[in-house]
Structure 1
Amino acid sequence: MNGIELDILKNIYLNQECSQRTVAMNTGYSLGRVNKAIKVLCEQDYINDDLQVLSKGAELIVANRPHNAIILAAGYGMRMVPIGKNMPKALMEVDGEPLIERLIKQLKEVGIHEITVVVGFMKEAFEYLIDLYDIKLAINTEYADKNNLHSLYLVKEKIANTYILPSDIYFFSNPFSKVEAYSWYMISNEQNDNSNVYINRKLELVKTHDQSHNNFMVGVSYINREDSIQLKKRIEELEHDSKNKNAFWEDALFDKDRMYINAKMINAANVVEINTYEQLRELDNKSNSLKSDVISIISETLNCRKSDIENIKVLKKGMTNRSFLFEALGQKYIMRIPGEGTDKLINRYHEQSVYKAIAGKGICDDPVYINADNGYKITKFLDGVRPADSNDDKDIRRCMDKLREFHNLNLEVQHIFDMYEEIEFYEKLRDTTSIYRDYSTTKANILKLKEYVDKHVERRALTHIDAVPDNFLFYTDETGVEQLQLTDWEYAGMQDPHVDIAMFCIYSMYDKERIDKLIDIYFEEKCSVQNRIKIYCYVAIAGLLWSNWCEYKLSLGVEFGEYAIRQYRYAKEYYKIAIEEMEKLNEK
């Protein structure tokens, strides 16, 4: 039987003494479709001519009766800025009720009492549900690195006559039932450009690259015992292929480009997916979850209503911060919210003093708002911005011109960025032995470079420290001219300006030929041998510094891949290069 026939069988089972017209009204199918389906059901002895369910039909319904539910609630909810940082999406409130509690209640209303919630981010916040609703928690420890395929993999053995659902949806009326006749995946009749599936005439869900007629995937599914065998097998296969760590669990429902279970369509008016602050505000503008010091700060700073803050979009997660774009009163802005552990890494009072020192100097736009107590910062958004390309000679020359211009200002602040002290600082932060087996030898070698560096520092001035290609921003001004500014001054302090050259090199992961070329561009072919060796020393010292930084961030669950090991390689390799060059210099 197809999905239509099974839907009609289910409806007849739930509504005894009904007519074909009543069935049509209940299911939304045309009277012609209902009539055709009833003929098939009668012919196959599932019902009789009086629309009474026979034993064969009842057995099918009983075999498919819902048994349990799995709620996936492990993720960060990154798009919920500015409130997702301190609260899981599942606990956002609508009409005073957390989303997940409403879903649990709706499941229990239809007799589903065995409920497992897979948690990860802020897992402790869900503990109260165990006592309040007698649910079980499953812990996903890899929620930061893997998508919800891994969450379902952890509880896959529970799948058999099971509802699987996300935790960030709100149903106005209960979508669950005491009776199910077959496996299905829920979509709405709303078209959605972000979806990659559509429902065909056979009520099948099919993948497509044409996004003009796609259906919104609600994320709720019902999997009966028979189909659970195939699903669990597919989950296992996908989980053990490393390329699928960012996969959604729905990928396991597809056989090539077609779902092997039926689609179940619901009216878009009955469901809301809450992925953003604005979606929550639209659903319930009085929700307690909307209360945010970030939104209050924006409103007060820009002298606008909270409702004027629109089009909030999370930006790419940076190495240190989480930032989001928003609009207010016709102007676009970027709000910076410090990332995990940032309070231990950055002195915001030092950063604030740096912005005072560079204010009005044409190096970068002044912040609209900056607060040293919490690290929040608001800046105007620049349209058409692109970061410098470290492999483009024209970009590199403009970056070095800008860097030289900044250094020649000889600005001063009261604090120093001491790379050796910072190495010690990060060692203490990570509070464990280095993952590199020869770390103590490498560090001892780096310490040997201090004498040469100190001897050859010509001057100290305000230095950016994080002068990497991503922080050189090209943009087009109102006159159509491409401009360049240097942004992100969190680490800036008094230091030898030549440190900035080394920082640009190691972030770009340059080899020695490219490093020498960059030095020549900055110095306009006039770099002394002594300064070149000193920059080699800075490459080595900075390499160890940022290697320690990466190790600390790794302890927080943040991985930087190749960048991390390359920094350690710079420490070892450029120590040798610097020593060799010193020896050559002494021989002359």
Structure 2
Amino acid sequence: MLSKIEFDIINMLYENDKLTEKELAIKLYKDVEKIKVAKKKLSDKGYLIDSRVSITGEKILKEHEIENAIILAAGMSTRFVPLSFEKPKGLLKVKGQVLIERQILQLREKGIDEIIIVVGYMKEQFKYLIDKFGVILIETKEYEKKNNHSSIYAARKYLKNSIITSSDLYFKENIFQKYAYDAYYTAVYKRGKTAERGIILDEDDRILNTMYGDRCYDIWVTLGYAFFNQRFSNNLIKILDAIYDLPETYNKFWADIQDENLKELYMYAKLCDENVIYEFDSLEELRKFDKKYLVNSESNIMRQVCYMLGAREDEIIDIESLRKIKKTLFRFKFRDCFYICDVAENDNYKISYEGYVYYLCRDIKKKFVRLYKIDKSIKVMGKNDYNIKKDLKQVYEYSKEFIDYHKRALPLCAAENVISKFVNLPLTYGFQERYIMNNTYSFNMEDNFIGCEKLFPFYQKISEICSIMFGARYTDARPFSGMNCIDMIVKTVCKPGDKIMILGKEHGGHASVKPVVERLGLKTFIAPFSVKNLDLKYEELNDMVKREKIQYILLAPSDIIKAFDLEKIDTSSCVLMWDCSQLLGLIAAKLCKNPLDNMDNVIMFAGTHKTFPGPASGLIMTNEKYLHDRMETQINPKYLRHSQMHQKISLLFALIEFEMYGVDYMAHMVHCSNYLGEKLQEAGYDIARVNGQISYTHQIFIRCDENLMNTIYDNAYRCEVTLNKKVKELFNGYGIRIGTQEIARYNWDDNALDIVAKIVKLLSQKNIDIDRVLKLKNKLPEKKLSYTFLDKEINDFWELERY
């Protein structure tokens, strides 16, 4: 009798006798030493000859042959609205292949010819598969009330040594097999908290227990397909015969019934890489995997909705089924507004949901697609622009509750920015003294202070605007600064002993990151970097992450003239924490790539006072619910008691201002960097370039020796010119960093930049003529802020000081 590991080894070697012991260990998630011991036993027993399966070994395999496959395809997939109203999910085309057809081909590739498909919802659409693949269709009429155990029961006469899979799964690799030791369920490892079904395994990967809820944290979970051997099939049919018609059995999955009868229905886990098995619960999840669904889902309903709103498909987001209210309803977000859509004919002019009333939109001419919005007078034909006046009015109403005076000095160093009179407003109203616990998504009065409900709308508005500006599904504005963001994220997302890769200080990384993460008990690795290219070595980085099993990558560039190509980083097995403090304004203006657009497992955060002209505050954004959940209820009040509300509301004002003026401001800022850099190079300075360009950001790198660096810095101090000196490999040893974000905010033209270049040139002289520098400075234009609202637009806010 072979052990489980011995069987798995000959099964794998039968398919590929070139596999090394190390490769077998990786595929089976076992130690190499265990593989070596098992292989020796197999050789001693005559099942292997020089790593090839012998005739005796083949005979053993064929005693465990899988006889057929049953594909479950009866459900409606109600969460997959609106596509599920028109087509069963298993018939969607993903990466160029119909989901169910891809699985049929993979099964056939493994020699499994008898394939049974259990249908129900839109069963007629599956009939073509009979002629195309010779499959057997059987129907269950009870799926809607009895869930997927009714599909198993409908196929009971076919149950033997059977693979059980779902039509809507996508296996990146063919993980089906022709032979199996015993019943099993494919499983993947989920880091963090998960809503999936967790499993506890013994050393042979036999499932000892299953669970849901809070205990499902950093755990193997069942996901993908299952294999029922004859023993399992017989026992399951016997149990279903006894309980099938009981009311308490309704709505159960077959896995629920297994959980209740694990002694008779035990099985093993087939451990798989998480990046091989894909199960799409919603259109939003499919969009991340197949970008085609962002622009064209081939859905008539989506096409009609887009026509009514003058929208592109990728602007229809946050889609969710409202099946608990009515099966034909779904909700979505377009720009800053939520809509409800009903795909069935009705006479309703309003729908109530979560305390809001959605009214039927006017000018709707499509008979079976009716849109509802929280506004009686909405007109949906044509394209809506961002409504600045509406936001100003809302913020004004929020601000009536809090008035006091507070002013902050404006910094002049290159890493900071100036904020406008408009953004300064909330710093004077008395928000600083007030308390609110929790964030937008976890707010409740029970754990809060009376009066905090007046602050809560500001948090909501920040999240709403960040959704528009950055495409962020979850926003957290509670941290005090960019560095505080790092502290909060690492404390809540990571745990002591985890491995984290960081950007080295020598390569422009923030100097505080390493001591902070090491203080919190994380093991650090330095990201591979090319000083020549001023960029990461992406292939080496990805290899190191995989080889060292690094769970997190934290990139916090302080010195950067070109953003990293983050999409080259493989985040399938790790989380990327991206500190975009230096680039936040550029990302908001769409002049720099946003990793939230196309990448998974990303937390983007920033200090909000550099290229983005806001207060010294912090902002965390992610599109991953599991990461959001880790941070949401821990940051405050666990690690942060008072969130400095005056900064948060000032940030909100800055977001609104930037939405109006940010694109022009950022474009001028980058122009200033390149124009000034060219002038400094003409003056004799060694100016760094990347891809032939001086800068894609607000920063300019001057490379020089130590003496010249100190001369420039000392003269700058004496002449009241703010800049930074750098002792880093990134600057070939020594250098000066200049930032143009503030002079761009004053909208200085090229003539002014010519004067700035002359001043910086003079700073290199050992015996500098300070009077000459001062005369040049006096020729500079007035420091008058541009790219902000006019005084007449904010007079109403100033009047609040009278209260």
TM over 0.5: yes
Residue 138 (structure 1) aligned with residue 131 (structure 2): no
Cα-to-partner distance string for 1:448-481 (whole Å, 9 max, x where unaligned): xxxxxxxxxxxxxxxxxxxxxxxxxxxxx99999
Deviations, residues 504-533 of structure 1 (Å, cap 9, x unaligned): xxxxxxxxxxxxxxxxxxxxxxxxxxxxxx
CA distance in 2, matches of 1:286, 1:271: 20
Counterpart pick for 2:267 among 254, 261, 272: 261
Give the number of equivalent residue pairs.
369
User: Which residue type is aligned with residue 198 of structure 1?
Assistant: I
Q: Which residue of 2 aligns with 1:314?
A: 321
Which residue matches 1:239? 244
Secondary structure, counterpart of 1:115 in structure 2: strand
Distance 1:315 1:150 in 2: 24
Is 1:193 the counterpart of 2:194? The answer is yes
Q: CA deviation at 1:149?
A: 0.3
SS at structure 2 position matched to 1:371: coil
Paired residues of 1:120 and 1:141 also in contact (CA < 8 A) = yes
Match of 1:106 in 2: 106
Q: Which amino acid aligns with 2:371?
A: I
Alignment of 1:46-57 (within 5 A): 47=47, 50-51=50-51, 53=53, 57=57
- Given that 1:197 and 1:214 are in contact with CA atoms closer than 8 Å, whether structure 2 keeps it comes out as yes
Aligned partner of 2:255 among 250, 259, 268: 250
Aligned-partner Cα distance in 1 for 2:297–2:77: 14
Cα pair 2:186 2:270 within 8 Å, conserved = yes
Query: Superposition pairs for residues 484-563 of structure 1, below 5 Å?
Result: none
* 3-state secondary structure, aligned to 2:145: coil
Output the CA distance in 1 between the equivalents of 2:310 and 2:366: 21
Paired residues for 1:399-418 under 5 Å: none
Unaligned runs of 5+ in 2: 351-355, 376-452, 458-803
CA distance in 1, matches of 2:374, 2:5: 52
- Please give the residue correspondences for 1:449-468 in structure 2 after superposition, counting only pairs within 5 Å: none
CA deviation after TM superposition for structure 1 residue 275, in Å:
2.5
What do residues 234-287 of structure 1 show as CA deviations (whole Å, max 9, x unaligned)?
A: 333342433212111223433556761100111111121122122232232335
* Structure 1: distance between partners of 2:363 and 2:200: 49
DSSP-derived class of the 1:228 partner: helix
Match of 1:222 in 2: 227
Compared CA separation, residues 228 and 35, structure 1 to 2 (3 A) = same
In the TM superposition, 1:286-325 aligns within 5 A as 286=292, 290-318=297-325, 322-325=328-331
**Other-structure match for 1:77:** 77
Q: Whole-Å Cα distance in 2 between the matches of residues 261 and 267 of structure 1?
A: 19
Counterpart of 1:68, as a letter, is: N
Query: What is the rounded CA distance, in whole Å, between the counterparts of 1:230 and 1:9 in structure 2?
Result: 28
CA contact (8 A) 1:119 1:137 kept: yes
Q: 1:364 to 1:267 in 2, by over 3 A?
A: closer
TM-score by length of 2: 0.42
- 2:337 paired residue among 309, 331, 334: 331
Cα contact 1:198–1:214 (8 A) shared by 2: yes
Map residues 23-172 of structure 1 onto 2, 5 A cutoff.
23-24=24-25, 26-39=27-40, 41=42, 45=45, 47=47, 50-51=50-51, 53=53, 57-172=57-172
Alignment map for 1:438-477 (pairs within 5 Å):
none
1-structure distance, mates of 2:22, 2:341? 57
For 1:307, give the aligned amino acid.
Answer: D
Give me the whole-angstrom Cα distance separating, in 1, the residues matched to 2:230 and 2:46.
Answer: 20
- Taking the aligned partners of 1:279 and 1:322, their CA distance within structure 2 comes to 21
Q: How does 1:363-382 map to 2 (within 5 A)?
A: 366-368=359-361, 371=364, 373-380=366-373
Match of 1:278 in 2: 284
CA distance in 1 between counterparts of 2:268 and 2:456 reads 54
Q: CA deviation at 1:369?
A: 5.2
| Secondary structure of the structure 2 residue equivalent to 1:58 | helix
Name 2:206's counterpart in structure 1. 204
1:118 Cα offset (Å): 0.4
SS at match of 1:71: strand
Q: Partners of 1:51 and 1:96 in 2: how far apart? A: 38
Does structure 2 conserve the Cα–Cα contact (< 8 Å) formed by 1:47 and 1:53? yes
Specify the SS of the correspondent of 1:272: strand
Residues 334 and 381, structure 1, Cα contact 8 Å, conserved in 2: no
Deviations 1:200-256 (A, max 9, x none): 353233222423234443240112233332232233334243321211122343355
Instruction: Find the aligned partners of 1:317 and 1:247 in 2 and give their Cα distance.
Output: 18
Q: 78-87 vs 194-203, which deviates more?
A: 194-203
Mapped to 2, the partners of 1:213 and 1:369 lie a distance apart of 49
On the 8 A contact 1:317/1:323 being kept in 2, the answer is: no
Q: Secondary structure at the match of 1:269?
A: coil
Question: Does the aligned pair in 1 maintain the 2:117–2:137 contact within 8 Å?
Answer: yes
Which segment is superposed worse, 299-308 or 124-133? 299-308
State the Cα distance separating 1:188 from its structure 2 match. Answer: 1.7
Structure 1 CA distance for aligned equivalents of residues 55 and 456 of structure 2: 77
Q: Deviations over 1:143-185 (max 9, x none)?
A: 2222110111111121222111000111122111233333211
Contact 1:277 1:290 in 2 (8 A): no
Residues 1:46 and 1:139: Cα distance change in structure 2 (over 3 Å): farther
Amino acid at match of 1:129: L
Q: Is 2:339–2:373's contact at 8 Å kept on the other side of the alignment?
A: yes
Q: CA deviation at 1:142?
A: 1.9
Letter in 1 for 2:206: E
335 and 30 in structure 1: CA distance in 2 versus 1, 3 angstrom threshold: same
C-alpha separation between the residues in 2 aligned to 1:139 and 1:365? 39
Is the 1:367–1:379 contact (alpha carbons within 8 Å) kept by the matching residues of 2?
Answer: yes
- 1:377 CA displacement: 3.1
Deviation at 1:26, TM superposition (A): 5.0
- 1:42 and 1:102 map into 2 onto residues whose CA distance is 37
- Measured after TM superposition, the shift of residue 135 of structure 1 is 0.6
Change (3 A) 1:173 1:22: closer
* Residue identity in the other structure for 1:223: F
CA contact (8 A) 2:358 2:374 kept: no
Q: Is the 8 A contact 1:80 1:275 kept in 2?
A: yes
Amino acid of the residue matched to residue 36 of structure 2? Answer: N
Letter in 1 for 2:271: M
Contact 1:119 1:140 in 2 (8 A): yes
Amino acid at match of 1:248: F
Cα distance 1:16–1:214, how it changes in 2: closer, same or farther (>3 A)?
Answer: closer
Q: Say if 1:375 and 1:48 are closer, same or farther in 2 by CA, change over 3 A.
A: closer
Structure with greater helix share of residues: 1
Q: 1:196 to 1:226 in 2, by over 3 A?
A: closer
Distance 1:269 1:129 in 2: 28
Identity value in percent: 28
Contact 2:28 2:271 in 1 (8 A): no
Residues 379 and 22 of structure 1: is their aligned pair in 2 closer, same or farther, counting only changes over 3 Å? closer
Q: CA RMSD in A?
A: 3.4
CA–CA separation in structure 2 for the residues paired with 1:179 and 1:196? 25
Distance 1:92 1:29, change over 3 A: same
Distance 2:156 2:267 in 1: 17
8 Å contact 1:71–1:164 — kept in the other structure? yes
